[in-house]
Amino acid sequence: MTKNRKGTLFVLSGPSGAGKGTIRARVFEALDGLSYSVSCTTRAPRDGERDGVDYRFVTPEDFAAHIAAGDFLEWADVHRHRYGTLKSDVEKVLNEGKDMFLEIDVQGALQVKKKMPEAVTLFVVPPSIEVLEKRLRGRHTEGEAELRLRLRNAVEEMKQRDRYDFVVVNDSLDEAVDRVCRFVEQRRQAL
């Protein structure tokens, strides 16, 4: 539905492997009218990932050119790669009165909240670091060194959870999805 007001920006964040992508996909199945911002990244595509759908896969030079041009709403160095959200994508969707989800790391989420205090931030917490490790290993997307780095970073990222508007523990997936859906619906109805 198109509205006269601007859309709401929901920022889903949390450590790698916490379940952001899994929860986001389920929330998009359950709720209507949500758009997703496809980030730019310098990391290589994983098997099955599609350019322009999962990410915009760009060279380090192209990423640097976007930074220089001021194209990013936020960007960060995450686990030795660069990731960023294009300002133009977000502005277009919000100006159409549609609600949008970003799925980004903690540094990026805090940058967005600083620039756009009206953005709604959500933090996905794994039940424990042990469970996070098991899930990351089960995903089979990272080598050992990359996986260790992501787990080390997770410990630091978890310390920022109190800076978010909403925190959800992703133990039972169904329950986590239900809680996020209810929170998003409440925030949409409050406007």
Ligand X SMILES: Nc1nc2c(ncn2[C@@H]2O[C@H](COP(=O)(O)O)[C@@H](O)[C@H]2O)c(=O)[nH]1
- Would you say 16 is a known binding-site residue? yes
Residue from 8, 11, 19, 184 in contact with ligand ATP (CB under 6 A): 19
Options 173, 182, 185, 191; binder of ligand ATP; rule CB under 6 A = 173
Q: Which residue has the tokens 């630091």?
A: 156
CB atoms within 10 A of CB 72: 21
Under the binding rule (CB under 6 A), the answer on residue 138 touching ligand ATP is yes
Please check if 159 is assigned to a binding site: no
For residues 45 and 65, what is the distance between their CA atoms, to the nearest angstrom?
20
Element (H, E) at 139: helix 129-139
Spatial contact of 168 and 180, defined as CB atoms under 8 Å apart: yes
Residue (of 67, 65, 68) closest to 76 by Cα position: 67
Asked if 107 is part of the footprint of ligand X (rule: CB under 6 A), the reply reads yes
Contact between 113 and ligand ATP by CB under 6 A: the answer reads no
Residue with Cβ nearer ligand X (4 or 157): 157
Q: Which two tokens stand for residue 67?
A: 């930074």
Which entry of ligand X, ligand ATP, none binds 83, CB below 5 to 8 A by partner kind? ligand X
Which residues does the annotation place in the binding site for ATP? 14-21
Which residues does the annotation place in the binding site? 14-21
